[in-house]
Structure 1
Amino acid sequence: MRILHTADWHFGRQLEGRDRRAEQAAFVDELCRIADERSVDLVLIAGDVYDSVNPPAWAEELFYDALERLSREGTRGVVVIAGNHDQPERVRAAAPLATKHGIVLLGLPKEAPLIMEEAPSDRVRIVAGGPSWLELAVPGCEHHAVVLALPYPSESRLKELLSESFTQEQMQLAFSGRIAELLADLARHFRDDTVNLVTSHLFVMGGLETDSERPIQIGGAMTVSPLAFPEKADYVALGHLHRLQKLRDKPIVRYSGSPLSYSFSEAGQSKAVVLVDVVPGTEVREEIVYLTSGRPLARWKATEGIEQVERWLAEGRDAGAWIDLELHVSDVIDPAEFQRLRKLSDDFIKIQRVVVRDDRDEDGGEERVELAELTPEQLFRRFYERKRGVQPDDRLVAMFERLLAETGGEEEAE
């Protein structure tokens, strides 16, 4: 059986106010193409299909379009679990209809899939199941898949109170132990003649984070040991962390990562899905398939001013990428010049100006003076001198300070 593992789609998410809808739709096209070209039998989507509990209508439409195309008219299995961003009831709302197409939608831990009483042999069949597990028959596959499916297991969603008096360390051990206990109990459904899989949405100790994940634990209290997953599992498909990474070899415990980069902390990362080939009793084979549909993110640090930025653009540096620009200048930028810079490219997501004055200190070294280190009065004096060629007199500075006080805040001088 060939399994495709993906997670953390975050449909509806933006990047500093920029719409990612076109990129997310392109990802769906690429994902469906990979599934068809690589003859995938089962798709595991490990949570956070949406970016919020109340996603825009187009995000829901895109999700359902993806499910319909992936299921291939009920001949390919699809299992979806809710993540910490998802509203569980929203994820599973279409389960009665989805089940008829071999699609399993689970919103809460301990939730049971709908069993298909009758289904033709040339369609995916859910032949057995219970709270947090199911057995799936896929056309053309000799072996059934047993999937332990555990949507985001917070205390509230588990409907369990682990402790009111534990320290943070005790809470972490209790939570990890509870997940291990729950999975060990579910693992009794694994058999030697089945493809044995686990999918969940949680934080595993040792995983590398990025800035684009919103924490699901406080100080590590809701983290799980890599050893919590049952030995009899062939593959553990995780969601939550946006970086592609493996945390254990036997069984394979892996995050597929997000299909798009959702913060500049992910600049330079390659995005992927994971293909896994499992035959009971043989060694599991996995393959990383890198994605090309999302725009990359790049960080530019222009220490030579606007001219350097113009040169990079002319050279086609990081063509097609969203850009976070840090611009070093020797003085405050004229507003018109700053607007001209913004118009040089639509790819600039953020432009951070760093004012640096290269002076010599007593030892002959360079002194860096950044914008944040200057008072409003100093900024005003530097700007006035740059525009007029002379220092403002004390009366003009006093008028500036009075005007500043009347506005009730210290606004950024451009």
Structure 2
Amino acid sequence: MNILQVNVTDITGGAARIAWYLFQKCGQRGHGSYFAVGRKTGNDSNTFEIPNYACRNLWAGTWSRLEKKFTKHNIRYLRGLARRLAIMGERRRWADRQKGIEDFNYPGTHHLLGLLHQHVDILHAHVLHSDYFNLKLLPEFTRRVPTVITLHDEWMMTGHCACTIGCERWKVGCGQCPDLTTYPPVKRDATAYNWFRKRKIYAKSRFYIATPSNWLMKKTKCSILNNAVIDSRVIPNGVDLSVFRPVAGQAARRTLNLPQDAWIMLFVAAGGHNNRFKDFATIKKAFLKFSAGSVRQKAILICLGGKGNDQRIGSNLIHFPDYVFDIKKVSLYYSASDLYIHGTRTDNFPNSILEALACGTPVIATRVGGIPEQIDEGVTGFLVPPHDSGAMASRIKQLQENKGLWQKMSAMASDSARKHFDLDRMADEYLSWYQEILKNKLRGDG
């Protein structure tokens, strides 16, 4: 089989990691495996950047290329300026953005299936938002190639947002959006128009849908996607157990220069404590409540994934390390920690929880989205109500004071990851499905 994965990036982000893992595993199993992305940052020869810049007019293409250069060098102000100037070079596109209409003007998408210079047997799309993909071409792609879409968020069923955070308007047509700033943001409320436009696109399409959680699959079946779905599967995300595995806590702490005698908690998120979908405020309150009553050990909360200034509270510490690019070093932070804390407003199936479990680190997390499908309550961790810092602090204290319970949870956490969240298991499920899809196509069933 020749399998083409599609995602906004090749390396950065949780969805990119899952797509990348799948791309690698398909190649290792002897299949033709390729990756098309909106923004390429790695150097893999079978990864292709969709040529949106080359297909724009001279003005827009030049500023788009400069935007890419500024992004690579993390020059944020110039990156934003270059993006605005590029869009202004295409008047219709600029006007639509001012109206709040989602931008599908990405001409390189037309060349997607030609990037390989050979036949594509399976097209597997992941995140299709974030400025790189023309969703209006989805009907054409699904006519030409069996197309699998893994939903990593809710964007495909809404008028603009990737996370609905309790809003139910996606079921009936959006409009009167309660929060236009939710990622990906729009300038004005054209969410009803965006929703109906997506519905028209899906009415002309036929595709296969995968979700990592039953929670998201249930939402999909109530959405504008449902009538376009040929078949659907819940395939939990996998984690690389050769990287994320138990390591002796003392050894990990020595490597990371962390104190041996402290009670260490870890929080991981893209953007760290500034991630608006996570609930760092509740985590911090829980830490303060716990540390105020803890006289046995120094307490440290490590926030990984974003910038911040260390905060000392008496003998206790909230620590913000520099951004860690090396996933092997990230795995050491899990092993060095006594607990992984995941407070969030909404979440589908966060990789960070799987990584913590794989490293044998018990998890305390908010009971939202697909998270209850990851944690075996009272066995591999604890679930707490949203925004309940008291319940979170109580569970932290319970594990600190009961070493036997902590040891049992640690062993069960890594065991759960091996049984349920192995990367090879995920790849096997997708490959088996690909083969079933192609067999059904030959019989005329798909």
Taking structure 2 as the reference length, what is the TM-score of the superposition?
Answer: 0.29
Please state which structure has a larger fraction of its residues in strand.
1
Q: Which has the larger radius of gyration?
A: 1
User: In proportion to residue count, which structure has more helix?
Assistant: 2
